[in-house]
Amino acid sequence: MRRVAFILAFAMLLAGCSFGKKDEQPPQPPAPDLTSAPGAVAVNKGPFQSGPVAAPQRGALFGAWIKPDALTHVGRLAAVDSLQSDLGRPLKIVNTYRRFEQMVGTPSDKEFLARGSTLMVSWATGDNRSILDGEHDDLIRKQAKAVRKLKVPVLLRMRWEMDRPNLRATMWSGADYIAAWKYVREIFREERAKNVSWVWCPTAEGFIRGDAPAFYPGDDQVDWTCVDVYAGERFEPIGDLMGPFLTWAAQRPKPIVIGEFGVAKAWGSAGRAAWMKDARRTFKVNPQIKAIAYFESNPEGNGPKKQFQLTGDPPAFKELESMVRDPYFNP
């Protein structure tokens, strides 16, 4: 029934749009149906094999990626400080992105760690077959040493969203990705980078399509399972969007981190607020979800269906505040 309601709502939205009046706001879809049970199936209660970054026994750690005005030490600190000030609490997890050649251990990384946050490093490794050919061994060893020097546990998302169709030219196949994952992890082992919890993080869409599981390296290789899930193109409850992933993850003794989640500006303040409220209860009824990280960003060049920043949208941001002030998300 929820899915039908969302389809009808979307049809109403299209029917009501006026493309001739630029200043007129299009009608917004109705709020998600919060009266029915969330699509919650990740009920594996452990014990979990989570690596150096331990999963809380109860509740879930809250974190975020906050796009800075400038990708500098000052800019990164200012972005995180601003959100923490607005929320009235520190982030337990700070998500940070790195290209293949960018090392961890920057001044801002060290500052976040000094404040007690856990880094979740989203590392965009390159072509899997060139990795397996040994072309990047020096770079991978350098990164392993940089991680080791942090001397604190780190979450590492090696080439997150590897299942995206637009990455197939460098991922090649699930088998290639798995082989590259094992290759990189072996180099980290050789460099004694033992402070890494390895996070495998595909997209919710990849599980809806059915191709994401082919990229899974195995329970012996992964410490945390993960998913990125957005109400962007599809305005549906978060439990429906990530339901296929949760069904799969429940079969594995791994804690779950929601690596990125967000609701797009296109769905209006009321719709966004309701979606966030539903996300809060969905996370809470999934005991296997042990960490979440909001994607507080409007990437440049993206339209309203790919703009997820809640700051500046009071009703939606209020629901984010309610979530992070819930003791469940401050274990």
Confidence (pLDDT) at 43: 76
Q: Around 95, how many Cα atoms within 13 Å sit in the side-chain half-sphere?
A: 25
Q: With bands split at pLDDT 50, 70 and 90, how would you rate the model's confidence at 32? A: low
Instruction: Give the chain's length.
Output: 331
Q: Given 236, 260, 296, 319, which residue is catalytic?
A: 260
Q: Distance of CA 23 to CAs 17, 26, 271, 310, Å?
A: 12, 9, 20, 22
Q: What is the dihedral of CA 227, 228, 234, 239, to 10 degrees?
A: 40
**Model pLDDT, residue 23:** 40
Q: Give the chain's domains with CATH numbers.
A: 39-329 (3.20.20.80)
The 10s digit of each residue's pLDDT in 245-269 is: 999 999 999 999 999 999 999 999 9
* 296: annotated active-site residue: no
Contact between 239 and 40 (Cβ < 8 Å): yes
Digit-coded pLDDT (tens) for 161-170: 999 999 999 9
% of residues, the chain, pLDDT over 70: 88
Position 44 confidence tier, pLDDT thresholds 50, 70, 90: confident
Residue 326, CA distances (Å) to 31, 277, 284, 320 in order: 22, 12, 10, 10
Q: Name the band, by pLDDT with cuts 50, 70 and 90, for residue 31.
A: low
Q: 47: cis peptide before it, omega within 30°?
A: yes
Show the 3-state SS of 234-300: CCCCHHHHCHHHHHHHCCCCCCEEEEEEEECHHHHHHHHHHHHHHHHHHHHCCCCEEEEEEEECCCC
Handedness of CA 81, 84, 85, 90 (dihedral sign): negative
Q: How many CA atoms lie within 13 A of 20 on its CB side?
A: 0
Give pLDDT, residue 22: 38
C-alpha 62/C-alpha 59 separation (Å) is: 10
How far apart, in Å, are the Cα atoms of 189 and each of 14, 64, 175, 327? 53, 28, 21, 37
DSSP H stretches of helix in the chain: 2-16, 73-87, 107-114, 128-132, 137-150, 168-171, 174-190, 204-209, 238-241, 243-249, 268-284, 314-325
| CA 217 to chain CA mean position, Å | 19
Name the phi and psi angles at 192, rounded to 5: 60, 35
Average pLDDT over residues 207-218: 98
Share of the chain above pLDDT 90, in %: 83
pLDDT value for 71: 87
The pLDDT of residue 49 is above 90: no
pLDDT band at 45 (very low <50, low <70, confident <90, very high): confident
Average pLDDT, the chain: 90
Residue type for position 327: P
pLDDT at residue 8 is higher than 50 = no
Task: Say if CB 150 and CB 193 are below 8 A apart.
Answer: no
DSSP-derived pairing of the beta strands 196-200 and 118-124: unpaired
Kindly state the helix (H) or strand (E) to which residue 121 belongs, with its residue range: strand 118-124
Task: Summarize pLDDT for 175-211 with one digit per residue, the tens.
Answer: 999 999 999 999 999 999 999 999 999 999 999 999 9
pLDDT tens-digit series, residues 297-330: 999 889 999 999 999 999 999 999 999 999 999 9
289 - beta bridge partners?
256
The pLDDT value given to residue 40: 56
Report whether 116 contacts 90 (CB < 8 A): yes
pLDDT at 55 over 50: yes
Rounded-to-integer distance, Cα 323 and Cα 241, Å: 19
pLDDT digits (tens, 9 = 90+) for 112-125: 999 999 999 999 99
* Rounded mean pLDDT, 277-299: 96
- Mean pLDDT, to the nearest integer, of 131-157? 98
pLDDT exceeds cutoff 80 at 3: no
Report residue 146's pLDDT band, with 50, 70 and 90 as the boundaries.
Answer: very high
Residue 140 pLDDT exceeds 90: yes
Q: What's the pLDDT score for residue 46?
A: 83
pLDDT at residue 30, as a whole number: 55
Catalytic-labelled residue, pool 101, 111, 135, 161: 161
Q: Is residue 18's pLDDT more than 70?
A: no
Q: Which residue has the higher pLDDT, 82 or 33?
A: 82
Look at residue 100 in the predicted model and tell me its pLDDT: 98
Which residues are 256's β-sheet partners?
Answer: 225, 289
Question: Which whole number is the average pLDDT over 14-25?
Answer: 38
**What local confidence, expressed as pLDDT, does residue 224 receive?**
98
Angle made by CA atoms 164, 75, 96, in degrees to the nearest 5: 30
